[in-house]
A = this chain, B = another copy of it.
Amino acid sequence: MAGNSFGKLFNLTTYGESHGPALGGVIDGCPPGIELDTDAIQNELNRRKPGQSAIVTQRKEPDSVKFYSGIFEGVTTGTPIGFVIENTNQKSHDYSHIKDSYRPSHADYTYDKKYGIRDYRGGGRSSARETACRVVAGAIAKQVLKDVEIYAYVSGVGTMKLDKPYSELDLTKIESNIVRCPDETMASKMEQYIKEVRSKGDTVGGIISCVVKNVPVGLGEPVFDKLHAELGKAMLSINAVKGFEYGSGFHGSTMYGSEHNDAFNTDGSTKTNYSGGIQGGISNGMDIYFNVAFKPVATLIQKYETIDKEGKVVQMQGKGRHDPCVVPRAVPIVEAMAALVLADFYLINKIY
């Protein structure tokens, strides 16, 4: 009810502030009998962690996950999986400058108005650090899903857009560069661009595209819990996301029905796939693909004016870790949320 749980059957609850002792979560509903590949889980955490490359400020943050329950001799038991990620650098920072002020386009103001209190250190609960817990759960969800393949990649940074459809890309190359764009020419342009943005202390937004292959037919529940509606909610719940479209998306609104309808092949597959692998809210076995738009993050390394709790104007200087473009780091988060949605429907689908 208070918004910290996701999923019905494969359910994740997360807790933790960015500078408290630890973050963590509970997965309730993971099927028993899965031999967990813990290296794969840690690998996903590593993909998400800050300071991975030259385009961002370095930071040592191990983000190692400890499992407390639900796994016995390496195998899931069907009981809840409790896990914890300790915050190792929680102590020394000085947050007095943001304690009583509201940074623009952060959640400072809204948390204070809603709750009357907030842990202001590093953004507290509103920090994207919370997504580390999603990545852990998503890595387990991927193992539940077995043959389903999820590929997210950066298709836009600022005004730079990769306009090729995913079918023309080599999706095995996503991890070959630090911006996670499978087109190498575009990747190096994006990288250069992000460095320029960084040098100004500024930030920039971007777009992540995601393709899901080998999806069984029948995932998704009409009428409110359509597969794409849950995917949309999942993506929009990621920090900084402003938009979601699947299949033909916004462009589809400009098309004629005679163009857009996906004619059947005799095996039930379709000749085109404007539907994005989903019809009537239910997967049809074709590839699912969607785009997620990220705004530029609000933390700039620049001077700015804002207000304090009393409404007085105050001068601020952005400091701390500078992430000029979080979009590459958000790639594993998009994959994790997709995996959570699909695992949930995958389990529901076993019932009926």
Residues of A within 8 A of B (CB): 1-6, 8-9, 11, 13-17, 20-26, 28-29, 31-33, 66-70, 72, 75, 77-82, 84, 102, 104-107, 109-111, 113-119, 124-126, 130, 156, 158-159, 197, 200, 202-207, 217-218, 220-226, 228-230, 232-237, 242-250, 252-268, 270, 274-276, 278-284, 291, 293-300, 302, 304-307, 311-313, 347-352
B247–A244 touching, CB < 8 Å? no
Q: Nearest residue in B to A14 (C-beta to C-beta)?
A: B223
| Residues of chain B lying within 8 A (CB to CB) of residue A159 | 254
Each complex incorporates copies of this chain amounting to: 4
Q: Pick the most buried of A202, A204, A244, A304: most chain B CB atoms within 10 A of its CB.
A: A244
Q: Pick the most buried of A81, A197, A296: most chain B CB atoms within 10 A of its CB.
A: A296
| Residues of chain B lying within 8 A (CB to CB) of residue A105 | 260-262, 274-275, 279
**How many Å lie between the Cα of A245 and that of B132 in the bound state?**
25
Q: Nearest residue in B to A299 (C-beta to C-beta)?
A: B257
> Given A202-B256, A352-B32, is A26 in contact with B9 using a C-beta cutoff of 8 Å?
no
| Residues of chain B lying within 8 A (CB to CB) of residue A275 | 105
Q: Which of these, B11, B69, B218, B257, contacts A17 with CB under 8 Å?
A: B69
| Residues of chain B lying within 8 A (CB to CB) of residue A254 | 156, 158-159, 205
**How many Å lie between the Cα of A72 and that of B274 in the bound state?**
31
Q: Pick the most buried of A221, A229, A247, A313: most chain B CB atoms within 10 A of its CB.
A: A229
> Given A207-B250, A232-B232, A252-B205, is A78 in contact with B117 using a C-beta cutoff of 8 Å?
yes
Q: Which of these, B115, B270, B295, contacts A77 with CB under 8 Å?
A: B115
Shortest beta-carbon distance, A31 to chain B, in Å? Answer: 5
Shortest beta-carbon distance, A220 to chain B, in Å? Answer: 8
A109–B284 touching, CB < 8 Å? yes
Q: Nearest residue in B to A104 (C-beta to C-beta)?
A: B261
Shortest beta-carbon distance, A271 to chain B, in Å? Answer: 9
B1–A111 touching, CB < 8 Å? no
Shortest beta-carbon distance, A272 to chain B, in Å? Answer: 9
> Given A253-B242, A253-B293, A260-B205, is A279 in contact with B106 using a C-beta cutoff of 8 Å?
yes
**How many Å lie between the Cα of A30 and that of B169 in the bound state?**
43
Q: Which of these, B25, B33, B297, B305, contacts A117 with CB under 8 Å?
A: B33
Q: Nearest residue in B to A313 (C-beta to C-beta)?
A: B266
Q: Which of these, B3, B229, B260, B281, contacts A226 with CB under 8 Å?
A: B3
- Between-chain CB contacts (< 8 Å), 13 pairs: A5-B11, A15-B28, A15-B68, A32-B117, A77-B125, A105-B262, A107-B280, A107-B281, A114-B217, A229-B233, A243-B253, A244-B244, A257-B300
Shortest beta-carbon distance, A136 to chain B, in Å? Answer: 14
Shortest beta-carbon distance, A52 to chain B, in Å? Answer: 20
10 cross-chain pairs, A with B, having the tightest CB-CB distances, nearest first? A107-B280, A3-B221, A243-B245, A3-B225, A15-B82, A203-B257, A233-B233, A110-B282, A257-B296, A205-B253
B31–A311 touching, CB < 8 Å? no
**How many Å lie between the Cα of A264 and that of B104 in the bound state?**
7
**How many Å lie between the Cα of A13 and that of B221 in the bound state?**
14
Q: Which of these, B224, B244, B280, B293, contacts A110 with CB under 8 Å?
A: B280
